[in-house]
Amino acid sequence: MEIVINGRFLTQNITGVQRYARELMQALDGFLEGKSHVRVTVMSPRLSNTPPAWRNIFLRQVGCLRGHAWEQFELPWFSRGRMLFCPGNTAPVLSLLGAQPVIVTVHDLSYKYFPEAYNRMFRLWYSFIIPLVLNRARAVITVSQSERRAIIAHYPHSAPRLYAISNGGLPARLSVEPINPPEPRDPYILYVGSFSKRKNFPRMLEAACRLARKRRFHFVFVGGASKSLTATTANIPADISSYIKFVDAVNDPTALVAYYRGAACLLFPSLYESSGLPPIEAMACGCPVVASDIPALNERCGQAVLYCDPYDVDSISNAVIRIMDDTELRSRLRILGYKCAANYSWEACARDTLDLIDRVDRNAD
């Protein structure tokens, strides 16, 4: 079996979609050890950064275009005649409309639910390409059962070809032993993610400001970009500015683990997730979690987190106070969190993805 993987993600800034693709490739590289009957090639535009060091996955930098143009016009030509897997929501229109077998991971439909979070061209493109993918791809992967149900509600015809394969958590190459660590010496409440309305950042920041003033809790917000960081920090009242720290996106998993290990809890009151990564990462590091009571996080986290109403700042604040004031609760959630995080791995994600690709390939013959 020969598989070509759309490697455009290697040229993009790292958000959740790119994290998924990179961790899936890393796990797949290990999974392919000794499997000579499977040849996997990642095709990408010309890279300006250091390419990944895979042992069993081949990297081919092809073409002379970039971005959408490369994906739509050059990738179909270089990948022709082979199974094409696209892990980042989109795929070449020519491949979808032609005879080439294509499998695509559609992470979510957030462009429908939060249109104000995206520019007009992005919304127009996704409003065209996602329905085409759901109609023409040989199989579509999404990242949770709850997101599968949501997609089917909008596109019922996709159900027979739509499969839920869960994301992993921390990279397997990180050795994070399940221990019962001592309470952090200088505890803080941690958030990891983008500073967007979809992630509920305005309400979260309001809760943080209240708690910094009322209880002198410290907060560390990891994520966002420089522009949003500058705009956000300018709105923090001077009397509590020392209690609220902003850190730009952390792409080094080892550095991210250090933030999780030093936190009293992770605050993750997102309005919408298809399969959130930070709660599982935090639990794997022994960091208790406050999360929003929404379907994807219910599915992914079970009873291992303390839930809050993401639309209610009081509910968010009270959940943080409860977890900060209750040592026994933190200890219980830490134990449950280790068990929950152990259910998710990028190795299982890679295995299930490869199994699906194999089934589609055999049925195509």
Residue for token pair 């993401």: 310
Residue 62 in this model has a pLDDT that exceeds 70: yes
For residues 256, 262, 265, 269, the Cα torsion angle rounded to the nearest 10 degrees is -30
Residue 226 in this model has a pLDDT that exceeds 60: no
Written as six digits, the tokens of 79 are: 């990948």
Domains in the chain: boundaries: 2-168+346-364, 189-341
pLDDT computed for residue 251 by the predictor: 83
pLDDT level of residue 196 (50, 70, 90 thresholds): confident
Residue 11 in this model has a pLDDT that exceeds 60: yes
Is 2-168+346-364's fold the same as 189-341's? yes
Please state, as a whole number, how many other Cβ atoms lie within 10 Å of the Cβ of residue 43: 23
Residue for token pair 């040592």: 327
| CATH of segment(s) 189-341 | 3.40.50.2000
pLDDT computed for residue 36 by the predictor: 84
Of 21-25, 36-40, 206-210, 324-328, the least confident: 36-40
| CATH of segment(s) 2-168+346-364 | 3.40.50.2000
pLDDT by residue (tens digit) across 88-141? Answer: 999 999 999 999 999 999 999 999 999 988 899 999 999 999 999 999 999 999
pLDDT by residue (tens digit) across 151-185? Answer: 999 999 999 999 999 999 988 777 666 556 556 66
Mean pLDDT of 187-211: 93
